[in-house]
Amino acid sequence: MTQEHTPEPEVPAEGGLVAELERMSPQERAAHEAEVADVVAPDREIAVEVGGTLLELEDVTMAFGGLTAMDSVSFQIRRGEILGLIGPNGAGKTTCFNVMTGVYRPTRGRVLLEGKPLGRAKRNAITRLGIARTFQNIRLFGEMTALENVVVGTDARHRTSVIGALLRLPRHHREEQSAVDKAMALLEFVGIADRAADKARNLPYGYQRRLEIARALATEPKLLCLDEPAAGFNPAEKEELMGLIRKIRDDGYTVLLIEHDMKLVMGVTDRIVVLEFGKKIAEGLPAEIRDNPAVIAAYLGVPDDGAA
Ligand SMILES: Nc1ncnc2c1ncn2[C@@H]1O[C@H](COP(=O)(O)OP(=O)(O)OP(=O)(O)O)[C@@H](O)[C@H]1O
């Protein structure tokens, strides 16, 4: 469906972009990166009141039959921060993402984006409202190019109708071209522009993870939710990913990060929320969480009085 309307990719000649970047002086490179950042995030959230509440979970419970995956969980995500969501396996982290992105409707409680309840909004509507996510298991269109995968993400923002696309109305043309330009800028932003014309399935694993992030950013989210983006990465790749997550935040996005790797979580987040058996057991700065006895006990699998 979407494939029919996907424009022909306009990518630089092989090696062109990389070679061009290498030829630039540090000043030219900085100016170029600033231009790319402007295309990637034209409406920078960071210019708006950093620190105000962007998203709020209010007493959210999510039950599956007899199993309570989230139990009266409340926390807030502030504009411009990187919030870590951690907890042992089965703690309810992914369920939390699913509730926030409209995959599940909470059994009790509510989720508010910029003070407005998401209510019964469906997944696509929530994407348009400004929440994007990546998945634990990569979900790309393997037969489409990297560029096309990102162009598909920009579709969430398009204003022309299917009729507009079929009739090739001028607005549709303009949107198509700007979608390609934006997608290319996003690929460059996440560091994989050199493989823009390759099929997604042929990309190395680390590139696929970055492509997922570019595709999520293409929807121009207010909040970007990353579900274990470093899964399967080696230490050097994790280090690079930390750099990318910081760059995303510095470009004005708010990030919610589920991650098992403690070094990464402690190194990149501003605050952390900890879940265990569906309940929030702690919330605070990384250093506070690291020293919190309940958190240590949850990870070691012993009661927090250490009696076991
Ligand atoms: N659709 C569902 N139906 C029934 N049970 C579910 C469903 N989704 C999640 N659960 C259960 O809810 C609990 C929380 O799962 P969830 O995947 O949210 O945990 P998690 O913290 O993301 O775990 P992990 O770190 O292993 O990914 C688990 O016991 C899980 O089996």
> Are residues 165 and 5 in contact, defined by beta-carbon separation less than 8 angstroms?
yes
Who has greater pLDDT, 181 or 15?
A: 181
Shared domain check, 285 and 206 = no
Shared domain check, 124 and 74 = yes
- The residue whose CB lies within 8 Å of the most ligand 1 atoms, and thus the one to mutate among 67, 104, 107, is 67
Mean pLDDT, residues 126-135 = 90
Decide: helix, strand or coil at residue 275.
Answer: strand
pLDDT at 112: 95
- Ligand 1 centre from 96 Cα, in Å? 9
User: Per the domain annotation, does 118 fall within a domain?
Assistant: yes
- Residue numbers of the domain that contains 59: 36-130+222-301
Exposure string for 28-39, b = 16+ CB within 10 A, e = fewer: eeeeeeeebbeb
Shared domain check, 153 and 260 = no
- The span from the CA of 160 to the CA of 151, in Å, is 15
Mean pLDDT, residues 298-303 = 70
Ligand 1: nearest atom to the Cα of 104:
1
pLDDT at 24: 75
Q: What is the pLDDT of residues 69-91, one digit of tens each?
A: 999 999 999 999 999 999 999 99
Shared domain check, 153 and 126 = no
- The span from the CA of 261 to the CA of 235, in Å, is 10
182 lines ligand 1 (CB under 6 A): no
User: Per the domain annotation, does 238 fall within a domain?
Assistant: yes
Who has greater pLDDT, 217 or 123?
A: 217
Q: What is the DSSP letter of 6?
A: P
100 lines ligand 1 (CB under 6 A): no
CA angle 138, 222, 42 (to 5 degrees): 105
Shared domain check, 164 and 238 = no
Question: Atom 11, ligand 1: which residue's CA is nearest?
Answer: 69
Q: Which of 205, 292, 274 is nearest to 241 (CA)?
A: 205
One-character DSSP codes across 134-147: --SS----TTSBHH
- Ligand 1 centre from 133 Cα, in Å? 17
- The span from the CA of 40 to the CA of 186, in Å, is 6
Ligand 1: nearest atom to the Cα of 260:
25
For the chain, how many structural domains are there in total? 2
Amino acid at 73: V
Q: What is the pLDDT of residues 247-294, one digit of tens each?
A: 999 988 999 999 988 889 999 999 999 999 999 999 999 999 998 999
Shared domain check, 97 and 226 = yes
Shared domain check, 64 and 183 = no
Last residue of a domain, one of 175, 190, 219: 219
- Ligand 1 centre from 107 Cα, in Å? 15
Q: What is the pLDDT of residues 222-256, one digit of tens each?
A: 999 999 999 889 999 999 999 999 999 998 899 99
Bridge partners (DSSP) listed for residue 73: 60
ipTM for the assembly: 0.96
- Entry pTM: 0.80
Shared domain check, 266 and 201 = no
Shared domain check, 111 and 54 = yes
Last residue of a domain, one of 177, 195, 219: 219
Mean pLDDT score of the chain = 82
Say yes or no to pLDDT of 36 above 50.
yes
Sign of CA dihedral 107, 113, 115, 117: negative
Shared domain check, 239 and 93 = yes
User: Per the domain annotation, does 227 fall within a domain?
Assistant: yes
Shared domain check, 236 and 168 = no
Shared domain check, 152 and 66 = no
93 lines ligand 1 (CB under 6 A): yes
User: Per the domain annotation, does 250 fall within a domain?
Assistant: yes
